[in-house]
Amino acid sequence: MTQLLAISFSLNGKTIAVDVPAHMLLIDLIRDRLGLKGTKRSCDMEVCGACTVLLDGEPISSCTTLAVDVDRREVTTIEGVTPPEGLSPIQEAFVLHGGLQCGFCTPGFIMAVTSLLKTTPHPTDAEIRHYLDGNLCRCTGYTKIFEAVKSLAGRQDAA
């Protein structure tokens, strides 16, 4: 018998109450049960950052987090930082600077940058590189992503 656990959490500001199997992963809850497909599964081993979501504002790998662990906490996905119309300042900066090509890693990068700028509104070059060290992009070569983040440093509306 699979044990079901009742959890209740905030997803992008909306309260969600669901019963989940103890072994369910957060990414499967978000993508398959709740239908938010912006979060991407790629390496499935906490290396690439494509599945990054924020848990109480901090980046985590949703591919290697149990759904039960978000009980009574706040989860933010790419859908939660995207305005109903247009793009957020961080997304806008990625577009302006060419910080994406195929776009598969982009939701993870946007989530990581969201968290970085919230805690460190004026990151140094080294801080940007260190923080984003765990997000992989196979298209851009990172320079454009770095320039996009650098352009956001100190902007009040970014975080």
Partner 1 sequence: MLPSSFQFERPSTIADAVRAVGDFGDGMFYAGGTELLLALKMRVIRIDRLIDIKGIPGLDCIAVNGMNEIEIGARCTHRKISGDPVIREHVPALASLCAEVANIRVRNVGTIGGNLCFGEPHADPPTMLAALNARLVLEGSRGTREVHADDFVRSEMETVREPDELLRVIVFPRPAGPVTYRRFKHGERPSVNVAMAWSLNAGGSTIRSARVRVGALGSRPQPLPVVEGALQNVAVTEVRQAIESALPAALDQLEVNADRHGGADYKRHLAGVLLLRSADEAVTAGGSWLK
Give contact residues for partner 1 (rule: CB under 8 A): 2-3, 5, 21-25, 28, 44-47, 49, 52, 55, 58-61, 64-66, 68-69, 112, 115, 130-131, 133-135
**Helix, strand or coil, per DSSP, at residue 81:** helix
Half-sphere exposure of 96 (CA within 13 A, CB side): 14
At closest approach, how far in Å is the CB of 86 from partner 1? 28
At closest approach, how far in Å is the CB of 63 from partner 1? 8
Q: Which is nearer to partner 1, 11 or 27 (CB)?
A: 27
Q: Residue 126, Cβ neighbours under 10 Å: how many?
A: 8
Q: Which is nearer to partner 1, 87 or 104 (CB)?
A: 104
Cα separation, 60 vs 8, in Å, equals 19
Beta pairing partners, 10: 15, 74
At closest approach, how far in Å is the CB of 155 from partner 1? 21
Q: Which is nearer to partner 1, 46 or 147 (CB)?
A: 46
Q: Kindly tell me the burial class for residue 142, based on how many C-beta atoms sit within 10 Å of its own C-beta (0-12, 13-18, 19 or more).
A: middle
Cβ–Cβ < 8 Å for 90, 112: no
Q: Which is nearer to partner 1, 21 or 98 (CB)?
A: 21
Q: Residue 5, Cβ neighbours under 10 Å: how many?
A: 14
At closest approach, how far in Å is the CB of 5 from partner 1? 6
At closest approach, how far in Å is the CB of 47 from partner 1? 8
Q: Which is nearer to partner 1, 12 or 115 (CB)?
A: 115
Residue 32 DSSP label: I
